[in-house]
Amino acid sequence: MPQNPFYVYALKDPRLNPARPFYIGKGTGNRAWEHQAIVDDSEKGEVIKSIHEEGYSVLHTVLADNLTEEQALKLEAELISAFGIRKYGGLLTNKVRPNPNNIKKKIKVNVPEGCYEKAQMGIDLIKKAVMEFAKANSDGVKNSDVAKYLGLQSDYGGGSRDYLSYSILGILMKEGRIERNENKKHIAKSE
C-alpha cells in the first residue's frame, strides 16, 4: 500500500484522437471519479455533459501517485501551467492557476506514522462487510440500506449523512466489484 495517499490525475476527452486532458487535479481516494458522479455547472461540467451526451465516458488517468499533499499540489500546479487554462488559450477547464509559491502555506496537517495504514485496514474490513451484504441481497442494496443495516449512519450536524457508506460503495464500484443499476441499487459482481 502507498505510504502517501495523494495523487495527480487528468480527465481526458475520448472524442479526440489522441484523447486530450481537459482538467488536471489532485486528490485522494475516489476524487478523480467524483467529477462524473456529480456533474456541476462549471466549464469542466459542461465538457463532461457533452461527452456523456455523445455516448462516451470521461477517461481518467492517474499521472502520479504515492505523493504527499505538498508534492501533489506542486505537480498539479506545474501541469496546469504547462497545459494552460482555456480562457488564456490553453487546453484545461481548470478555474485557477495555482501559485507554487503559496503551497507550503496551505499545508497544515500532520499525519502520524501508521495512521494511513490503520485507516486502510479499517476500510478493507468495511469493504468486505459491504460485499457480503450486497451478495446476500441479489436484487441490490441502496446506500441508505448499507448505512442503516451495517451501522454506518451518522447524525453529524443533526441530519443523516451517509457519506461513509457512499464512499465505500464508490470505492467498490471503482474496483469493478459492484455496479449500480437504473434503480440506484448496488449489485455485487461475481468475483
Inter-axis angle of helices 115-136 and 163-174, nearest 10: 80
Between the alpha carbon of residue 59 and those of residues 20, 84, 173, the distances in Å are 9, 19, 16
pLDDT tens, position by position, 127-155: 999 999 999 999 999 888 998 899 888 77
Q: Which range is least confidently modeled, 77-81, 83-87, 117-121, 146-150?
A: 117-121
Cβ count within 10 A of residue 180: 16
Q: State the pLDDT at residue 2.
A: 45
- Helix, strand, or coil (residue 68): coil
Contact criterion met (CB below 8 Å) for 70 and 107: yes
pTM for the structure as a whole: 0.57
Q: What is the mean pLDDT of residues 68-77?
A: 87
Q: What is the mean pLDDT of residues 152-179?
A: 78
Contact criterion met (CB below 8 Å) for 63 and 72: no
User: Residue 107 pLDDT > 80, yes or no?
Assistant: no
pLDDT tens, position by position, 44-70: 999 999 999 999 999 999 999 988 888
Query: In the chain, where are the structural domains located?
Result: 6-106, 115-188
Q: State the pLDDT at residue 147.
A: 87
In this prediction, what percent of the chain has a pLDDT beyond 90? 33
Q: State the pLDDT at residue 141.
A: 92
Average pLDDT, the chain: 84
Q: What is the mean pLDDT of residues 9-31?
A: 92
Amino acid occupying residue 130: V
Between 1.10.12, 3.30.70, 1.10.510, 1.10.10, what CATH number should domain 115-188 receive? 1.10.10
